[in-house]
């Protein structure tokens, strides 16, 4: 069973119709193999839902800490319906991890509340690289796909 089947309980017809949506994706470059896999997963689900490829706007930021500002810049455009923020923070040996995770989570939520639009938290916060691999197309699915599904549900 693919990860999308797991998310949707094998009912692919339950994806909301995304034909008229315009979506931003902000993808962090830290742990780029992971975030690229998640970003591709998100795009795949948006396209499967009918979102026109020309209505998916992807931009990159250096790290998860920068996700809220970029999401805000995209969300302020009235024609954008929602934004997916994708990142991967892997715990190191300092509290740096906590600061980045907290800032990203709080900032992303704040942008959604400020603009009254869904801004999706597609950020992996893991103990190690293996846990990230497992969630970026591995044994626990692809959290980028789930982020896109969450956005579509919120828009619907």
* Under rule CB under 6 A, residue 150 binds ligand INI: no
Among 34, 71, 75, 89, binds ligand INI (CB under 6 A): 89
Report 25-44 residues binding ligand INI (CB under 6 A): 28, 30-31
Q: For ligand INI, which is the closer residue by CB, 112 or 122?
A: 122
Q: For ligand INI, which is the closer residue by CB, 90 or 154?
A: 90
Token reading at 123: 């950020």
Q: For this structure, is 96 an active site residue?
A: yes
Among 21, 39, 41, 66, binds ligand INI (CB under 6 A): 66
Among 7, 49, 51, 100, binds ligand INI (CB under 6 A): 100
Binding part of the chain for ligand INI, among 69-77, 86-94, 129-137, 147-155 by CB under 6 A, reads 86-94
| Three-state DSSP string of the chain | CCHHHHHCCCCHHHCCCCCCCCEEEEEECCCHHHHHHHHHHHHHHHHHCCCCHHHEEEEEECCHHHHHHHHHHHHCCCCCCEEEEEEEEECCCCCHHHHHHHHHHHHHHHHHHHHCCCEEEEEEEECCHHHHHHCEEECCEEHHHHHHHHHHHHHC
Q: How far is the CB of 120 from ligand INI (least distance, A)?
A: 16
Q: How far is the CB of 68 from ligand INI (least distance, A)?
A: 11
Tell me the C-alpha distance between 85 and 29, whole Å.
Answer: 12
Question: Which positions ≥6 away from 9 have C-beta within 8 Å?
Answer: none
User: Which residues are known to be catalytic?
Assistant: 96
Interface contacts to ligand INI, rule CB under 6 A = 28, 30-31, 62-66, 87-90, 92, 96, 100
């Amino acid at each position: 069973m693919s990860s999308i089947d797991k998310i949707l309980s094998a009912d692919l017809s339950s994806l909301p119709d995304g034909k008229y949506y315009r979506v931003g994706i902000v993808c962090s470059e830290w742990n780029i193999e992971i975030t690229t896999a998640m970003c591709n997963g998100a795009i795949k689900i948006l396209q499967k839902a009918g979102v026109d490829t020309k209505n998916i706007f992807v931009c990159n930021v250096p790290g998860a800490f920068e996700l809220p500002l970029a999401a805000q810049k995209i969300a302020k455009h009235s024609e954008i319906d929602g934004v997916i923020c994708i990142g991967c923070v892997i715990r190191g040996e300092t509290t740096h991890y906590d600061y980045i995770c907290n800032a990203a989570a709080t900032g992303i939520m704040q942008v959604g509340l400020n603009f009254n639009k869904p801004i999706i938290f597609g950020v992996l916060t893991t103990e190690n690289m293996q846990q990230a691999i497992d969630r970026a197309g591995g044994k626990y699915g692809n959290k980028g796909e789930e982020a896109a599904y969450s956005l579509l549900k919120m828009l619907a």
